[in-house]
């Protein structure tokens, strides 16, 4: 598992796509994986695109700074705000404190038609727990003896995938955009 640096993916991306997927290495499975398995090792993958002119104009940051972010963070994880799923209540969710291997941790519970999936949250951003004491660096809650709830927002710790930085060139050979491919790093 990669070390997670306390730095955030730069803002200014013009397009981001993401999907929950399987971490087949952790699962020890081969072949297809389906959401019905309800496996705790589902991870999120995200692709973000930065177009040079949009990024440099809107953010006032050199495109070279974004490339440098890749160089200093490759091999290490970093924090990403998922724009559509970064709070306890997003996507039919709720914040739960559940026990995992004898440790009380933050989870996000996704619910639909009476079925649930609990996903570990290890990087809380602005979280309030209903009981106990939260360690904001790990998502671990101490001082409780039964399941509880939490409210607030969180980051996803991510890392660059293999070939995680790709360039788009104009016909005259100028780099016009950077495309980043990221995957979540579970810290449990």
> Which of 148, 117, 152, 128 shows the shortest CA–CA distance to 43?
117
pLDDT string in tens for the chain (188-residue length): 568 899 999 888 888 887 776 554 554 544 444 444 556 667 888 899 998 877 787 777 778 888 889 888 878 999 999 888 999 999 889 999 999 889 999 999 999 888 888 899 999 999 999 999 999 988 999 999 999 999 999 999 999 988 888 888 888 888 888 899 898 888 87
- List the domains of the chain with CATH numbers: 4-83+156-184 (3.30.200.190), 90-154 (no CATH)
Best CA proximity match to 93, nearest among 45, 54, 52, 149: 149
CA gap 164, 180 in Å, rounded: 5
């Amino acid at each position: 598992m990669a070390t997670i640096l306390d730095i955030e993916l730069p803002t200014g991306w013009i397009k981001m796509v993401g999907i929950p997927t399987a971490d087949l290495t952790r699962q020890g499975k081969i072949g297809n994986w389906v959401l019905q398995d309800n496996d705790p090792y589902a991870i999120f993958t995200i692709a973000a695109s930065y177009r040079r002119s949009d990024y440099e104009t809107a953010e006032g940051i050199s495109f070279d700074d974004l490339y440098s972010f890749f160089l200093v963070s490759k091999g290490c994880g970093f924090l990403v705000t998922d724009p559509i799923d970064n709070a306890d209540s997003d996507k039919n969710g709720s914040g739960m404190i559940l026990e995992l291997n004898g440790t009380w941790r933050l989870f996000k519970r996704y619910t639909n038609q009476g079925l649930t999936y609990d996903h570990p949250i290890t990087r809380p951003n602005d979280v309030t727990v209903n009981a106990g004491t939260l360690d904001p660096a790990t998502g671990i809650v101490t001082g409780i003896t039964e399941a509880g709830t939490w409210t607030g927002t969180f980051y996803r710790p991510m890392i660059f995938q293999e070939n995680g930085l790709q360039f788009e060139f104009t016909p005259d050979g100028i780099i016009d955009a950077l495309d980043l491919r990221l995957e979540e790093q579970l810290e449990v």
